[in-house]
């Protein structure tokens, strides 16, 4: 089934203990759509870039069967740019530059050819823009997944709460779940957040895996223990993209399918962090993904007689 991904398509400059990059292509919609495209051949992007964004990069997205009709190119303007430096533990980072550029007044225009989308991924953007996308779709998608961050809880909480009422699945990390709910216990936090609108909540815990709450059930997904995390940038977006891409592939929305979707999303995220930026994500073979998923199976399987 077709999938609409909204989010940033941008330039990143990344520094980790293993090296640094010049401006490379990044952004939530880039990571999420590249991940989703491994499962779904009808991924459509809504995003905005400046005329500094290379045509070859857009063609590369198209080569991954990602539809870029909804990618606006603003003449005479510059693409969103973020620069950051990770600390030695790779769990924290300093933002060095955030140039909003074209993102400052982004109006998400939905091409007519996108109106049939049954799955919608709202990548991390202002809650107002996320809401606008939902409102501009003539038919409500079968599944709406929303990513957000603490920044919007701090400066746009009312918009965020209004948007939460319109979605199905929220993906945030453990600290954000605690901030949004005011509860330290993640079980209590989830109970509270599930009264705010979403029917499902995914709490991302990085190297500790992820928790899925919904239908009165909890699923705990492991993270693959990695020898080295090379660059964590985009791991959360890749996870979300893999998650909704898998859901669009299977088509039926229920807790069991979401469990597998989380495993596939986690598998793609575990590839993503192995190289800088989107490099690893652009060149995976289906058998590599299948093998990685089997690692998740053997990692967490036990049999109580």
CA distance 302 to 305: 10
150 makes contact with its own copies (CB under 8 A): no
235 makes contact with its own copies (CB under 8 A): no
Chain positions 195 to 224 lying near its own copies, rule: CB under 8 A, are: 205, 207-209, 211, 217-223
188 makes contact with its own copies (CB under 8 A): yes
4 makes contact with its own copies (CB under 8 A): no
Q: Using CB under 8 A, pick the residue from 184, 215, 251, 254 that binds its own copies.
A: 184
Report the number of secondary-structure helices (H) and strands (E) in the chain.
10, 14
102 makes contact with its own copies (CB under 8 A): no
Q: Are strands 143-147 and 169-173 parallel, antiparallel or unpaired?
A: parallel
Neighbour order of strands in the sheet with 217-221: 66-74, 43-50, 3-6, 119-122, 143-147, 169-173, 200-204, 210-214, 217-221
CB-nearer residue toward its own copies: 145 or 262 = 262
63 makes contact with its own copies (CB under 8 A): no
CB-nearer residue toward its own copies: 47 or 169 = 169
Give the range of 41-49, 236-244, 280-288, 294-302 binding its own copies by CB under 8 A.
Answer: 294-302
173 makes contact with its own copies (CB under 8 A): no
Residue 99, number of CB atoms within 10 A of its CB: 15
263 makes contact with its own copies (CB under 8 A): yes
Give the range of 87-95, 155-163, 230-238, 271-279 binding its own copies by CB under 8 A.
Answer: 87-95
CA distance 165 to 142: 15
CB of 197 to its own copies, least distance (A): 21
113 makes contact with its own copies (CB under 8 A): no
Closest to 171 (Cα-Cα) out of 115, 118, 214: 214
Fill in the DSSP letter of residue 49.
Answer: E
Closest to 143 (Cα-Cα) out of 31, 244, 35, 246: 244
Q: Which helix (H) or strand (E) holds 38?
A: none
93 makes contact with its own copies (CB under 8 A): no
265 makes contact with its own copies (CB under 8 A): no
Chain positions 11 to 30 lying near its own copies, rule: CB under 8 A, are: none
Q: Are strands 43-50 and 3-6 parallel, antiparallel or unpaired?
A: parallel
Residues 145, 122 contacting (CB under 8 angstroms): yes
CB-nearer residue toward its own copies: 115 or 185 = 185
CA distance 304 to 182: 37
180 makes contact with its own copies (CB under 8 A): no
Count of residues engaged in binding its own copies, rule: CB under 8 A: 38
Residues 33, 66 contacting (CB under 8 angstroms): yes
CB of 100 to its own copies, least distance (A): 33
- List residues near its own copies by CB under 8 A: 88-90, 184-188, 205, 207-209, 211, 217-223, 225-229, 256, 259-260, 263, 293-294, 297-300, 302-304
């Amino acid at each position: 089934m077709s999938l609409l991904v909204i989010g940033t398509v941008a330039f990143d400059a990344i520094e980790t203990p293993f090296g640094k990059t010049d401006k490379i292509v990044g952004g939530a919609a880039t990571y999420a759509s590249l991940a989703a495209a491994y499962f779904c051949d009808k991924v459509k992007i809504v995003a905005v870039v400046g005329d500094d964004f290379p045509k070859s990069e857009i063609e590369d997205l198209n080569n991954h069967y990602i539809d870029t009709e909804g990618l606006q190119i603003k003449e005479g303007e510059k693409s969103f740019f973020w620069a950051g430096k990770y600390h030695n533990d790779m769990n924290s980072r300093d933002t060095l530059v955030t140039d909003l550029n074209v993102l400052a007044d982004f109006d998400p225009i939905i091409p007519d050819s996108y109106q049939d989308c049954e799955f919608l991924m709202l990548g991390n953007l202002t809650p107002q823009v996320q809401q606008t996308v939902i409102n501009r779709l003539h038919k409500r998608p079968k599944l709406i997944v929303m990513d957000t961050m603490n920044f919007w809880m701090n400066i746009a909480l009312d918009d965020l709460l209004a948007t939460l009422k319109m979605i199905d699945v929220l993906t945030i990390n453990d600290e954000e779940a605690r901030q949004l709910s005011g509860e330290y216990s993640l079980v209590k936090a989830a109970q509270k957040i599930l009264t705010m609108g979403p029917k499902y909540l995914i709490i991302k815990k990085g190297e500790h895996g992820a928790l899925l709450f919904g239908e009165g059930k909890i699923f705990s997904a492991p993270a693959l223990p990695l020898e080295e995390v090379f660059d964590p940038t985009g791991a959360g977006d890749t996870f979300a993209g893999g998650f909704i891409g898998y859901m669009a592939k299977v088509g039926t929305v229920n807790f069991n399918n979401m469990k597998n979707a989380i495993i596939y999303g986690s598998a793609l995220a575990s590839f993503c962090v192995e190289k800088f930026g989107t490099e690893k994500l652009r060149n995976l073979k289906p058998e590599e993904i299948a093998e990685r998923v089997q690692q998740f199976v053997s990692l967490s399987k036990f049999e109580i007689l």
